[in-house]
Amino acid sequence: AGRNSFDGSKQRLLVVANRLPVSAVRRGEDLWHLEISVGGLVSALLGVKEFETRWIGWAGVNVPDEIGQKALTKALAEKRCIPVFLDEEIVHQYYNGYCNNILWPLFHYLGLPQEDRLATTRSFQSQFDAYKKANQMFADVVSQHYEEGDVVWCHDYHLMFLPKCLKERNSKMKVGWFLHTPFPSSEIHRTLPSRSELLRSVLAADLVGFHTYDYARHFVSACTRILGLEGTPEGVEDQGKLTRVAAFPIGIDSDRFIRALELPQVQDHMKELKERFAGRKVMLGVDRLDMIKGIPQKILAFEKFLEENPSWRDKVVLLQIAVPTRTDVPEYQKLTSQVHEIVGRINGRFGTLTAVPIHHLDRSLDFHALCALYAVTDVALVTSLRDGMNLVSYEFVACQDSKKGVLILSEFAGAAQSLGAGAILVNPWNITEVASSIGYALNMPADEREKRHHHNFMHVTTHTSQEWAATFVSELNDTIVEAQLRTRQ
């Protein structure tokens, strides 16, 4: 637990992530409009009451002028946020380049760039340099705001170089790092040209966390096989210094979803949806439009199901809500047109004058609309090819306590480890298997649905995001920083 200092004030927690939890819109030379974006991480940290939290990150906008930077810094301070200013070139090389074109695909087993992405490989070194430079800029801002006794929690693959930068500046700083994506098998990680440098800098942290035990194990293997260090049940040891490595599976703020279902506007939405799809079973997919989410595979499996089960054709509808992300990256543009093409073909093939089997929306839904949709769904389809955890599966379960619908879940999502007993697990690459699981789910008797749902609902409502954050931070606080150990001896 967080230790209060002698004057009763709370210990401070500095949360460092690539993006701040706010979106900033410029309304004048020195005028900014800010909106806090409520996501998993924000609500998780709202639950950590024993610490006073400050956020450090990029505001997502390029602010080249000093007046604008000053005004934004001031506006953000009211939301307890501290900006890191990155210019366009750094964002291009560090964020679009090294983070999203190299680390993201690699950590999801899609490999390093090849063929049309080969040009990227040639500029690998300059992207890695930009990555290190950006991480140094984050470290500068953390150091400026760090006070003795603070705890620093770094997030995700964007900031793997940060623990080392921080410890070099102040070896007494307590530093944790958590990865939201999978950590791949060491055989995958070893293809990365900067493999050793990244591992070493992560190991500078006092506590390293992953969603699942498997990811933690892959990380320890990478350290033993690539760096020749010793793996212990506690973590990784390097010349007597232990870096603690462990699994901290994330959850959601389940109460927020459960409470929302009682709101009149959500109830109205549900009523509309039920009327709109009366007489048909509703299947749902909610994803960021990303290749790791397996959206084309999911739609092809649904097509196969319709092909093999003509009697279901006018009795089931698939709603796929896919919010576009990273729209300036050509691979993502290609994925969008691929998905549109498949959906168009299937709707042409199985649609009638009055109904189509797939509704595909390229946009995000607001929180209330999303809750209503989760609540009226009969079968949710999560077919990620790889996914660190996958919170959509948790959100669906939280909203299903009346309906007790079925979750079809990829075995390659971290969530398969926690919701595996209640969900139908599938290999998303095996379209025949997914198609027959759809049939099984749609025909599942009520008592089996109830049993499966109960298992998952218990998990989702007890392993919340608040609990996740509190456990990580308290374990981080309990680690003994090497520098402190030395002074104590």
Binding site for ligand ADQ (CB under 6 A): 40, 180-181, 250, 286-288, 321, 323, 364-365, 370, 387-392, 395
Phi, then psi, of 174 in degrees rounded to 5: -90, 115
CA 61 from chain centre, in angstroms, equals: 21
CB of 230 to ligand ADQ, least distance (A): 29
Cα distances (angstroms) measured from residue 281 to each of 19, 319, 378: 38, 11, 6
Residue 382 or 438: the one with the smaller Cβ distance to ligand ADQ is 382
**Partners of residue 210 on adjacent β-strands:** 247
What minimum distance in Å lies between the beta carbon of 9 and ligand ADQ? 30
Minimum distance of ligand ADQ from residue 70's CB (angstroms): 32
Distance of CA 317 to the CA centre of its chain: 27
Q: Which amino acid would we find at residue 414?
A: G
Tell me the closest approach of the beta carbon of residue 361 to ligand ADQ, in angstroms.
Answer: 7
CB of 388 to ligand ADQ, least distance (A): 3
- Looking at beta carbons only, is 137 or 392 nearer to ligand ADQ? 392
Least Å distance between CB 19 and ligand ADQ?
12
Nearer to ligand ADQ among residue 34 and residue 365 (C-beta): 365
- CB of 248 or CB of 305, closer to ligand ADQ: 248
Q: Whose Cβ is closer to ligand ADQ: residue 158's or residue 200's?
A: 158
Closest to ligand ADQ by CB, 143 vs 417, is: 417
Dist CA 455 CA 419 (whole Å): 8
Q: Which of 145, 154, 150, 193 is nearest to 173 (CA)?
A: 150
d(CA 127, CA 108): 19
Strands 424-426 and 406-410: parallel
CA atoms of 367 and 359, how far apart (whole Å): 19
Least distance to ligand ADQ, CB of residue 321, Å: 4
DSSP 429: T
248 closest CA partner among 16, 466, 419 = 466
Cα(439)–Cα(419) distance, rounded to whole angstroms? 20
Nearest to 401 by CA among 362, 371, 367: 371
Cβ proximity to ligand ADQ: between 222 and 322 the closer is: 322
Shortest Å, Cβ 395 to ligand ADQ = 5
- Cβ proximity to ligand ADQ: between 139 and 392 the closer is 392
Give the CA distances from residue 401 to residues 167, 259, 305, 375, 423, in Å, rounded to whole numbers and listed in that order.
Answer: 47, 12, 27, 8, 15
Pairing relationship of beta strands 22-28 and 81-83 according to DSSP bridges: unpaired
